[in-house]
């Protein structure tokens, strides 16, 4: 099976985002980056499917030159090769632009299965996987928690709201957006890191990508709730909190 | 015109459908009172459409086809593409549910429209409506303008627009039944009936107090500290999704949109950032305490009491304090 896994590089979770002068994006030159978490689960699922059914795992990433960091990491974890659609404009692009750029680069590959994370930790638009399916002319299913390949067809477990699930069958080729927690992640071994150095990263130039939306103002969200903040040393804060929970909130005895 | 797409299952309307009516009415007021229409899709939806007709809207469209049930993305997009073409709305508004996540981006790609997802409010920029959404895990808010030709597709976050603020009409709105043009053979997904996993061993919704741990706990080995605090408080232990994803606690202890919804007397969140998917599951708690080292963490937005600090210092101090009495 020829499996594509789409990966995004996003600012690290513990980076405190700061807004640029124009208030249109963050100062990402100051950021540290990591693999978008649901995409890491998509990669792991791709690697497991390859182990079960054979074939290859091709990592596809759209973004500036810096995304080669997560691409290398994916190769070190076991992906066979990579396609990097390179463009600075893709860093802050919307789902339509990213899906377009990926579809152009992936179209000729005839993948059997395309996996993406369900959304990204930066803009969180939750669009790329589904829009990519439409562009590639493939059926899709979203928020997937289990993947079975049986006789050239797919049977996947879709997460629904509030603890409900649903099995959905569909033919291959198809696109799935993967939910975090579908599997347990593996980490790169030293051997994997060494092997990754020799793996192919095909660079593709992005055609002009047109986002269909534009951030015009980026700011810290307004606070609406009156939170009683308790300060002091850990011991002082703990004493004050316990007192308030007993006497004021009556939440403990 | 603003077209709302309502969501129903087995004839039951999703409450979020009323929330998006509120959003559409508020947007309409900003663009000179453009008419609002509501579409309900399914095999037989006259009852649900009749219910939506109670809203102060211009028209309700009952879009029917046997192949629209059960829901599939292919079926919905197949039916909506011609509907949107004939109705020619300026905006299409849908609740940001799991179902919307599954078909709206496909519809946007099919008709080459702008799609602004998970919107929490309306703003204005350059003399036209902008849509506010949270980015970077809720740490920042962004006002976003659509680009290009209409329609602009918008999905609204659960709870962002109050359902009970939807204006009701003096008389019911007209309901028009539309036979959807849809080729059943074009539907590639074959869904089975929804189900729940085997009965859950812990029912967190019955707990009087809950101590919830998030990724701030860092290691599984640190869980006993949270357990000890929970024991002293007479609380159940719960967690954010990443803790359950990692297998550190079983899934039935997960709170949030894909876990349990709880409303205990006390909810004490340790190293939980307060992402919307977590907050919807616990914000109805009577007293919420957040301990987080990041003063900007969204959890403080729902907390009654907050301590900005390192949980590895504050929790041992709390344990000590509770042991005193
Ligand atoms: C469709 C969908 C469904 C989802 N369903 C759920 C759900 O049901 N439940 C759920 O919880 N999530 C759910 N999520 C995930 C959700 O979006 C967040 O990713 C998740 O809630 C974050 O978990 P967290 O707060 O533990 O981790 P993080 O967001 O990483 O936050 C960790 C926090 O710990 C703080 N911290 C770190 N170290 C310390 C320290 N030493 N002392 C004090 N504080 C510290 C940090 O400041 C940070 O705020 C869902 C996501 C999607 C897309």
What domains can be seen in chain A, in order of their start residue?
2-205 (3.40.50.620), 226-253 (no CATH)
* Minimum distance, in Å, between the CA of residue B165 and any CA atom of chain A: 19
CB contact B141 to A (< 8 Å): yes
Q: Which residues of chain B have pLDDT under 70?
A: 198-200
* Minimum distance, in Å, between the CA of residue A248 and any CA atom of chain B: 10
CB contact B203 to A (< 8 Å): no
Last residue of a domain, one of B132, B151, B186: B186
Judge if B216 and B173 occupy the same domain.
no
Q: What is the pLDDT of residue A210?
A: 86
**Is the CB of B209 less than 8 angstroms away from the CB of A252?**
yes
Judge if B47 and B169 occupy the same domain.
yes
Q: Which of B73, B188, B306 sits opposite A227 (nearest CB)?
A: B306
Judge if B121 and B268 occupy the same domain.
no
Q: What is the pLDDT of residue B199?
A: 63
Give kind and range of the element (H or E) at residue B110.
Answer: helix B98-111
Q: Is the peptide bond preceding residue B151 cis, with omega within 30 degrees of 0? A: yes
Judge if B106 and B153 occupy the same domain.
yes
pLDDT digits (tens, 9 = 90+) for A164-219: 999 999 999 999 999 999 999 999 999 999 999 999 999 999 887 789 999 999 99
* Minimum distance, in Å, between the CA of residue A206 and any CA atom of chain B: 18
- Residues of A with Cβ-Cβ distance to B192 under 8 angstroms: 166-169
pTM: 0.96
Asked whether residue B58 is domain-assigned, the answer is yes
pLDDT at A141 exceeding the cut of 70: yes
CATH number at residue B209: 3.40.50.1220
- Residues of B with Cβ-Cβ distance to A227 under 8 angstroms: 290, 300-301, 303-306
Residues contacting residue A146 through CB under 8 Å, at least 6 positions apart = A156, A157, A182
Judge if B170 and B228 occupy the same domain.
no
CB contact A29 to B (< 8 Å): no
**Is the CB of A139 less than 8 angstroms away from the CB of B189?**
yes
Asked whether residue B191 is domain-assigned, the answer is no
| CA dist., res. B255 & res. B232, Å (int) | 21
Asked whether residue B199 is domain-assigned, the answer is no
**Is the CB of B321 less than 8 angstroms away from the CB of A229?**
no
Domain that holds residue B247: 204-324
**Is the CB of A216 less than 8 angstroms away from the CB of B126?**
yes
For chain B, what is the domain count? 2
Judge if B28 and B167 occupy the same domain.
yes
**Is the CB of B304 less than 8 angstroms away from the CB of A228?**
yes
Asked whether residue B194 is domain-assigned, the answer is no
| CA dist., res. A144 & res. A157, Å (int) | 6
Among residues B35, B28, B37, the alpha carbon closest in space to that of B129 is found at B28
- Residues of B with Cβ-Cβ distance to A122 under 8 angstroms: 135-136
Q: Which of B140, B189, B242 sits opposite A168 (nearest CB)?
A: B189
Judge if B231 and B168 occupy the same domain.
no
CATH number at residue B76: 3.40.50.620
Q: What is the pLDDT of residue B236?
A: 97
Q: What is the pLDDT of residue B156?
A: 98
DSSP B61: E
pLDDT digits (tens, 9 = 90+) for B47-93: 999 999 999 999 999 999 999 999 999 999 999 999 999 999 999 99
Judge if B147 and B18 occupy the same domain.
yes
Q: Which atom of ligand 1 is nearest to the CA of B256?
A: 8
- Residues of A with Cβ-Cβ distance to B196 under 8 angstroms: 163-165
| CA dist., res. B184 & res. B192, Å (int) | 16
Asked whether residue B252 is domain-assigned, the answer is yes
Judge if B61 and B209 occupy the same domain.
no
Burial label, A200 (beta-carbon count in 10 A; 0-12, 13-18, 19+)? exposed
Asked whether residue B193 is domain-assigned, the answer is no
Judge if B13 and B79 occupy the same domain.
yes
**Is the CB of B192 less than 8 angstroms away from the CB of A166?**
yes
Judge if B253 and B163 occupy the same domain.
no
Judge if B163 and B227 occupy the same domain.
no
- Retrieve residue A97's tokens: 């632009």
């Amino acid at each position: 099976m020829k499996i594509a896994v789409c990966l995004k590089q996003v600012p690290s979770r513990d980076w405190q985002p700061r807004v640029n002068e124009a208030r249109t994006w963050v100062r990402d030159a100051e950021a540290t980056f990591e693999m978008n978490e649901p995409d890491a689960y998509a990669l792991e699922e791709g690697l497991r499917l390859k182990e079960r059914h054979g074939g290859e795992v091709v990592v596809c990433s759209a973004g500036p030159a810096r995304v080669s960091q997560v691409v290398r990491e994916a190769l070190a974890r076991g992906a066979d090769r990579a396609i990097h659609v390179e463009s600075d404009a893709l860093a802050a692009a919307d789902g339509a632009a990213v899906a377009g750029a990926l579809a152009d680069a992936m179209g000729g590959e005839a993948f059997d299965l395309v996996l993406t994370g369900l959304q990204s930790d930066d803009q969180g638009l939750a669009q790329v996987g589904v829009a990519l399916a439409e562009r590639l002319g493939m059926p899709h299913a979203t928020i997937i928690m289990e993947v079975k390949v049986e006789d050239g067809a797919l049977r996947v477990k879709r997460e629904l709201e509030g603890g409900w699930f649903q099995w959905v069958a569909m033919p291959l080729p198809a696109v799935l957006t993967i939910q975090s927690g579908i599997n347990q992640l593996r980490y790169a071994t030293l051997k994997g890191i060494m092997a990754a150095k020799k793996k192919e990263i095909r660079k593709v130039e992005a055609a002009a990508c047109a986002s269909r939306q534009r951030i015009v103002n980026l700011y810290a969200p307004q606070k609406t709730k009156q939170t009683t903040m308790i300060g002091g040393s850990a011991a002082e804060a703990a004493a004050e909190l316990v007192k308030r929970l007993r006497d004021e909130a009556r939440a403990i005895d | 015109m603003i077209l709302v797409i309502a969501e129903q299952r087995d004839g039951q309307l999703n409450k979020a459908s009323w929330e998006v009516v509120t959003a559409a009415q508020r947007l309409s007021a900003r663009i000179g009172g453009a008419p609002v229409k509501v579409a309900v899709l399914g095999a037989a939806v006259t009852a649900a459409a009749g219910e939506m007709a109670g809203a102060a809207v211009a028209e309700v469209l009952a879009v029917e086809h046997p192949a629209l049930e059960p829901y599939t993305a292919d079926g919905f997009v197949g039916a909506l593409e011609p509907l949107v073409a004939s109705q020619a709305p300026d905006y299409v508004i849908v609740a940001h549910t799991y179902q919307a996540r599954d078909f709206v981006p496909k519809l946007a790609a099919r008709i080459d429209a702008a799609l602004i997802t998970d919107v929490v409010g309306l703003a204005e920029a350059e003399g036209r409506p902008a849509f506010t959404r949270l980015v970077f895990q809720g740490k920042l808010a962004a006002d976003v303008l659509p680009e290009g030709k209409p329609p602009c597709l918008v999905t609204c976050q659960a709870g962002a627009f109050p359902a009970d603020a939807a204006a009701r009409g003096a008389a019911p709105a007209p309901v028009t039944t539309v036979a959807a043009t849809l080729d059943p053979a074009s539907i590639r997904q074959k869904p089975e009936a929804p189900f729940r996993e085997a009965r859950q061993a812990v029912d967190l919704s019955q707990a009087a107090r809950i101590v919830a741990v998030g990724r701030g706990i860092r290691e599984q080995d640190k869980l006993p500290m949270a357990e000890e605090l929970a024991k002293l408080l007479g609380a159940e232990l719960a967690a954010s999704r990443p803790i359950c994803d990692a297998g550190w606690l079983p899934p039935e202890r997960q709170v949030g949109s894909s876990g349990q919804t709880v409303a205990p007397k006390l909810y004490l969140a340790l190293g939980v950032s307060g992402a919307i998917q977590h907050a919807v599951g616990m914000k109805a708690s009577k007293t919420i305490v957040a301990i987080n080292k990041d003063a900007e963490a969204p959890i403080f937005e729902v907390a009654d009491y907050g301590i900005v600090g390192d949980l590895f210092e504050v929790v041992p101090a709390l344990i000590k304090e509770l042991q005193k009495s």
